[in-house]
Structure 1
Amino acid sequence: MFQNRLVNIMLIMLVALTLIGVLTLVLYTQFFQQTSAEGEPTIDEVLKVSAETEEITTNLLSNNIVRTTFVVQLENRNAKDEFTKRDFQVKNIIIQELSDLREGDLQGAEGIRGLEEQIRSRVNEVMQEGNVEKVYVKDLVIQ
């Protein structure tokens, strides 16, 4: 190749270092970068940032009794920690929202979605570290 043996060794080392650098860059971008925010999160990611309320029993406006449990999906782990600390405020919000409803307001998918959205927006008003992404009704019994 070249007449000088030292130049050959330097070129081989330069090519080898370049290949190692490119390989390191490719591996870093493929394995160590966070996934993009596009698309739906996996169920494991949802469970990591979700919290469940205790069973709440209260009266409705129509003198019926409701027993319910909610699962709340939060924005991140800091929001989940804050949510668990604000447990008493969350229960208060849920009881207030339920006590303004009648039995007919909770029947059907539209009524339940409305309750979930109302609770989500009210809890977001008190949250400081993050936001509530979604509220799910886990149990709902009206007597």
Structure 2
Amino acid sequence: MKKNLLAIMLIILVAITLVGVIAVVVVTKLSDPTSAEDKPSIDEIVQSSVEVPEITTNLAGNDYIKISFMVQTENKKAKEELEKRNFQVKNIIITELSEMKAEDLTGKKGKEKLQEALKTRMNELMEEGKVEKIYITSSILQ
């Protein structure tokens, strides 16, 4: 009887220790700062970004816009692909803008909506990576 009790206590002690070790490993892996998403440095952003030169196009009303962008991709392969797809990117920008009115582009929310729409459409094209963020570098609305 004592041997059985001693064996059961030893098994319980080993099980508790094993659960503790597993918990420590899981907690350290989840809280590891290198496993979390690191923000890229400005140099990395510039190296993976494509400039879209100024585009002038009509809006849905009688207004027109001159606008240029900087498109940040997730890596250099995505940047190279986006550079090759330059004509498609310009087409996406022009078609998106042609559906918008001047009122849609005024203010912060309007510009953010345009940026999100362009990002979504460009990511539909991408095969080697994805577009992370779109920056409006100049904008003149008339």
1:107 match: 106
Give yes or no for the alignment of 1:72 onto 2:71.
yes
Mark the CA change 1:84 to 1:120 in structure 2 (over 3 Å): closer, same or farther: same
Specify the code of the residue in structure 1 equivalent to 2:139. Answer: L
| TM-score after normalising by structure 1 | 0.74
Q: Specify every segment of 5 or more residues in structure 1 that has no aligned partner in the other structure, as ranges.
A: 1-34
1:43 match: 42
SS at match of 1:53: strand
**How many residues get paired?**
109
Q: Specify every segment of 5 or more residues in structure 2 that has no aligned partner in the other structure, as ranges.
A: 1-33
Query: RMSD of the alignment, in Å?
Result: 1.1
Identity across the alignment (%): 50
Mark the CA change 1:42 to 1:83 in structure 2 (over 3 Å): closer, same or farther: same
SS at match of 2:67: strand
Specify the code of the residue in structure 2 equivalent to 1:42. Answer: S
1:12 match: none
Whole-angstrom distance in 2 between the partners of 1:36 and 1:139: 36
Whole-angstrom distance in 1 between the partners of 2:109 and 2:52: 22
Give yes or no for the alignment of 1:95 onto 2:91.
no
Whole-angstrom distance in 2 between the partners of 1:72 and 1:63: 28
Which stretches of structure 1, 4 residues or longer, exceed 4 Å deviation after superposition?
none
| TM-score after normalising by structure 2 | 0.74
1:23-42 CA distances to partner (integer Å, 9 max, x unpaired)? xxxxxxxxxxxx76633111
2:5 match: none
